[in-house]
């Protein structure tokens, strides 16, 4: 039976069945499919649906459709689908990949905005909704010029990319008040025409706020730096040095002599002897006393920050640098004094730069190219054997000689007993004024403290005085209030000699003799007692007193002649 609606041109096999499941018609494609018996059976003809059949190394999709139209009960179609599994799997993989890209596209923190070669918005990820305050559907299909005119963003980076035909980065402000940094990347075809622009945008409103906070903080830090300099200057102007011992009096005489000039001074002495105090005294007595006094602790500032702190830097000289740059401590100290504490801790590479500043009176900021003139007087200090460090290559020899123009050595407190009572009175007065008290040390307590070793020197004494005063309830501090370690270490070092510097042995012996006779005579006021203390003859004491001119003025000598005769002084 040849029915007209069976198209022999179809690539699908079609077979018509009557109510008895007999074939009443089929097209040419069905004729070409052999082995129909293996494809269609009676059970299949009673159950509409589709099944996949493997036959002769080929795969077929066989479907049954019930029509019940006149003599035709059902229609079976047969379609070869060999190899379709490959395309099905490929399609599935592409769908999964597309889903992954879609999720990635919309999950990006940064905005991704795609424009075609005509400037029409094709795609915008979800970040765009936050930046522009509208669903992305409101932007799709619209021209970037139209969106720019409506104020969604200004300026349009895509418009600039079309004009310049290159990558462009701009700062944008959006309709809802966001600040963006947008980069437009053009994509060209073989003819050099722009066929697409991909714009990446990041919201920087928070970054701008952080930048403003950082700027405010930097200004505050700079203000504090200036205030600290001012307070340091006020502190040193009110500070009085205590010097009762012959050794310290000699140090103070030298200090007063060199303070008015700009020669570099190197102060040496143990930790806590008062090197910083002496440096401030040099500044106070100098012609620079109205200028800044800047203390730089070379051992306290981290090494990776030390160079920028000393020399300053140009804006943008390195990552994290302030845009406007920063003055270094050396530049801030111009027309004043710089005290380089712990100078031996300065790294070797910075010793070279410091030497240049001392010699040439000018410096270059980090990242800079121009010299800046500075007018600085340098005072350095160390508690280490700097001469030995030079010999071992740990400190530059040229910098050592540049710093050691005028050496001043401060003896340890254990070698200048006369200063201890004066220092106790000084610290007591300060603390009584501070705490509104009237506490004093008993004479016996002071005597015990005079015989202590003081490994921490003046700093240790100051701390102990404050500790005793704030914990004492009465008005006088007795010996019993002293800590046990004072008594355990009260006997002074057996080696009482303190060498100030290298000198001829004869001069050293004479200097030691002069100091011993001076200390003994000033304290004992009697040549016999001096002779006993020094274990020498009394007549020798008299000669030494005359040799070193330790007697008072001639007028006083005449009035005291009888007393000296009683002592055996001729």
**Would residue 161 count as lying in a domain?**
yes
User: Which residues lie below 8 Å from residue 509, measured CB to CB, with a gap of 6+?
Assistant: none
**Would residue 47 count as lying in a domain?**
yes
**Would residue 249 count as lying in a domain?**
yes
Q: How many CB atoms lie within 10 A of CB 545?
A: 20
Q: What is the mean predicted confidence (pLDDT) over 125-134?
A: 83
Q: What is the mean predicted confidence (pLDDT) over 105-110?
A: 74
Q: Which two tokens stand for residue 430?
A: 């300060």
Instruction: Report the share of the chain in percent with pLDDT over 70.
Output: 82
437, 459, 488: which is the final residue of a domain? Answer: 488
Cα–Cα distance for residue pair 172/131, rounded to 1 Å: 10
Residue 428 has pLDDT above 80, yes or no: yes
543 and 448 in a single domain? The answer is: no
283 and 314 in a single domain? The answer is: yes
Cα–Cα distance for residue pair 560/570, rounded to 1 Å: 12
pLDDT at res. 232: 54
pLDDT at res. 251: 92
When mean pLDDT is compared across 83-92, 212-221, 318-327, 368-377, the lowest value belongs to 318-327
pLDDT at res. 34: 53
**Would residue 500 count as lying in a domain?**
no
Residue 43 has pLDDT above 70, yes or no: no
61 and 109 in a single domain? The answer is: no
Residue 24 has pLDDT above 80, yes or no: yes
484 and 509 in a single domain? The answer is: no
175, 203, 231: which is the final residue of a domain? Answer: 203
419 and 483 in a single domain? The answer is: yes
- Placement of tokens 């060999």 in the chain: 82
276 and 401 in a single domain? The answer is: yes
242 and 303 in a single domain? The answer is: yes
Contact 180, 202 (CB under 8 A): yes
70 and 121 in a single domain? The answer is: no
- Placement of tokens 């980065």 in the chain: 169
pLDDT band per the 50, 70, 90 thresholds, residue 409: very high
What's the domain count of the chain? 5
Q: How many CB atoms lie within 10 A of CB 168?
A: 21
**Would residue 318 count as lying in a domain?**
yes
Q: What CATH number does residue 398 fall under?
A: 3.40.50.300
365 and 313 in a single domain? The answer is: yes
pLDDT at res. 12: 82
Q: What CATH number does residue 471 fall under?
A: 1.10.8.60
DSSP string, 445-469: HHHHHHTS--TTHHHHHHHHHHHHH
pLDDT band per the 50, 70, 90 thresholds, residue 445: very high
Q: Which of 431, 415, 61, 60 is nearest to 273 (CA)?
A: 415
Task: Quick: pLDDT tens for 497-537.
Answer: 555 556 788 888 887 888 788 878 877 888 898 898 888 99
488, 517, 538: which is the final residue of a domain? Answer: 488
Task: Quick: pLDDT tens for 284-311.
Answer: 999 999 999 999 888 888 887 888 888 8
CA angle 355, 360, 362 (to 5 degrees): 95
Note the residue count of the chain. 570
**Would residue 327 count as lying in a domain?**
yes
Cα–Cα distance for residue pair 343/201, rounded to 1 Å: 51
Q: What is the mean predicted confidence (pLDDT) over 447-467?
A: 91
User: Which residues lie below 8 Å from residue 514, measured CB to CB, with a gap of 6+?
Assistant: 548
Q: Which two tokens stand for residue 211?
A: 């930048």
Residue 558 has pLDDT above 80, yes or no: no
Mean pLDDT of the residues in the chain: 81
When mean pLDDT is compared across 54-58, 116-120, 505-509, the lowest value belongs to 54-58
Q: How many CB atoms lie within 10 A of CB 62?
A: 21
Q: Which of 71, 175, 81 is nearest to 132 (CA)?
A: 175
Containing 321, the helix (H) or strand (E) segment is none
When mean pLDDT is compared across 113-127, 345-359, 520-534, 553-567, the lowest value belongs to 553-567
**Would residue 498 count as lying in a domain?**
no
Q: Are strands 312-313 and 376-382 parallel, antiparallel or unpaired?
A: unpaired
pLDDT at res. 83: 72
Cα–Cα distance for residue pair 259/248, rounded to 1 Å: 16
Residue 457 has pLDDT above 70, yes or no: yes
DSSP 143: B
**Would residue 253 count as lying in a domain?**
yes
231 and 330 in a single domain? The answer is: yes
353 and 396 in a single domain? The answer is: yes
Q: What CATH number does residue 512 fall under?
A: 1.10.10
DSSP 366: B
Q: What are the backbone angles phi and psi of residue 569, rounded to the nearest 5°?
A: -90, 120
Q: Which two tokens stand for residue 522?
A: 């000033």
Q: What are the backbone angles phi and psi of residue 534, rounded to the nearest 5°?
A: -95, -5
436 and 520 in a single domain? The answer is: no
Packing angle of the helix pair 246-258, 505-524 (nearest 10 deg): 120
Q: What CATH number does residue 43 fall under?
A: 3.30.450.20
The residue range of the domain holding 124 is 101-203
């Amino acid at each position: 039976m040849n029915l007209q609606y069976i198209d022999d041109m179809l690539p699908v096999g079609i077979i018509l069945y009557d109510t008895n499941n007999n074939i009443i018609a089929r097209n040419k494609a069905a004729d070409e499919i052999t082995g129909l018996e293996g494809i269609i059976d009676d059970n299949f003809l009673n159950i509409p649906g589709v099944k996949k059949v493997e036959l002769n190394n080929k795969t077929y999709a066989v479907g049954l459709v019930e029509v019940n139209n006149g003599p035709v009960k059902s229609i079976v179609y047969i379609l070869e689908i060999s190899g379709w599994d490959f395309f099905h799997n490929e399609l599935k993989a592409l769908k999964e990949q597309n889903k992954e890209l879609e999720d990635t596209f919309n999950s990006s923190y940064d905005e991704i905005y795609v424009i075609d070669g005509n400037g029409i918005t094709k795609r915008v990820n979800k970040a765009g909704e936050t930046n522009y305050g509208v669903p992305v559907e409101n932007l799709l299909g619209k021209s970037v010029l139209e969106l720019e005119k409506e104020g969604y963003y200004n300026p349009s980076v895509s418009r600039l990319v079309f004009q310049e035909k290159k990558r462009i980065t701009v700062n944008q402000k959006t309709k809802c008040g966001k600040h963006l940094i947008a980069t437009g990347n053009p994509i060209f075809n073989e003819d050099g025409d722009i066929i697409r622009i991909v714009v990446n945008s990041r919201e920087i409103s928070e970054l701008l706020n952080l930048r403003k906070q950082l700027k405010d903080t930097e200004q505050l830090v700079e203000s504090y730096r200036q205030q600290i300099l001012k307070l340091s200057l006020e502190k040193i102007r009110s500070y009085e040095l205590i010097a009762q011992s012959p050794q310290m009096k000699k140090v103070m005489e030298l200090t007063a002599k060199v303070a008015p000039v700009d020669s570099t001074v190197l102060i040496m002495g143990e930790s806590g002897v008062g090197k910083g105090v002496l440096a401030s005294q040099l500044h106070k007595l100098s012609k620079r006393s109205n200028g800044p006094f800047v203390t730089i602790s070379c051992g306290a500032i981290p090494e990776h920050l030390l160079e920028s702190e000393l020399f300053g830097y140009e804006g943008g000289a390195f990552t994290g640098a302030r845009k406007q740059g920063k003055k270094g401590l050396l530049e801030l100290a111009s027309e004043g004094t710089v005290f380089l504490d712990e100078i031996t801790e300065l790294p070797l590479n910075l010793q070279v730069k410091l030497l240049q500043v001392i010699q040439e009176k000018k410096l270059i900021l980090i990242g800079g190219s121009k010299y800046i003139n500075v007018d600085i007087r340098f005072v350095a200090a160390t508690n280490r054997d700097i001469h030995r460090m030079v010999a071992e290559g740990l400190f530059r020899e040229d910098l050592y000689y540049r710093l050691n123009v005028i050496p001043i050595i401060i003896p340890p407190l254990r070698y200048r007993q006369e200063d201890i009572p004066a220092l106790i009175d000084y610290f007591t007065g300060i603390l009584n004024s501070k705490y509104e008290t009237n506490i004093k040390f008993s004479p016996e307590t002071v005597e015990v403290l005079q015989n202590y070793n003081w490994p921490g020197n003046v700093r240790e004494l100051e701390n102990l005085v404050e500790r005793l005063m704030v914990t004492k309830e009465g008005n006088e501090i007795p010996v019993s209030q002293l800590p046990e370690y004072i008594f355990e270490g009260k006997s002074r070092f057996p080696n009482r000699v303190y060498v100030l510097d290298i000198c001829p042995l004869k001069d050293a012996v004479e200097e030691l003799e002069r100091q011993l006779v001076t200390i003994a005579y000033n304290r004992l006021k009697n040549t016999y007692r001096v002779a006993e203390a020094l274990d020498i003859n009394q007549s020798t004491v008299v000669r030494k007193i005359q040799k070193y001119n330790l007697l008072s003025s001639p007028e006083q000598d005449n009035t005291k002649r009888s007393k000296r005769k009683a002592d055996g002084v001729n």
